[in-house]
Amino acid sequence: MNNNNDIERINRANFRSCLEAFARPGQNQEIGSLFNSKLQAMASVLLYSEVSYCYRGQEDFQMIQAICGAKSSTMETADYLFFDHPDSDFLFHAKVGTAEQPELGATLIFKCHKIETEGTSVQLSGPGIDTTLVTTLPVNKGFIQQLNAKNESFPMGVDIFFLSESGILLGLPRTTKIEVMP
């Protein structure tokens, strides 16, 4: 048996990493590849026939769509949004749910070059973080301001994953408070 293509095994491990990333915001997790892609590995974990997605990028998502059965949609209506790079303009379009159904807020997955060393120094606080955690997010201050504005009406908001080329995953659930460090 070739374990490099065992989709079920890869999905189980990646699903656990996704859960850990949201349970421990700001702490790096690892994602394995599927079809030689970290982003498609994330899609394989998150997508299924009852959700919609939007992908803005260069990868071929046909295999993921065939496997998962998720429906392609617009940025404004998609449950999951996948992007080849972080951009605060993408945040503007993502749905935040309603007061009655906050779970209808979108989850955004951004590929980025590196998580560990590039970006803006921030302090995180909220559920899953002891007191505070200082880390680096692979975005600029404008992105963080837009994200904070998008998530200001809790429980409504968006959840975010950053995924580096090397497979490092960082999760920011809508409950995480983000403060830019001076």
Residue type, 120: T
- Please write the tens of the pLDDT for every residue from 3-28: 555 889 999 999 999 999 999 999 99
| pLDDT tens-digit series, residues 66-113 | 899 999 999 999 999 999 999 988 999 999 999 999 999 999 999 998
Asked if the structure places residue 126 within a domain, the reply is no
Q: Please tell me the total count of domains within the chain.
A: 1
Phi, psi (rounded to 5 degrees) for 23: -75, -25
Note if the pTM is more than 0.85. yes
Q: What pLDDT was estimated at residue 93?
A: 94
CATH of the domain at 90: 3.40.50.11310
**Buried-exposed string 160-176: b where 16+ CB fall within 10 A, e elsewhere:** bbbbbeebbbbbbbbbb
Residue 25's domain comprises 3-117+141-176
pLDDT of residue 1: 41
Q: Is the pLDDT of residue 133 over 80?
A: yes
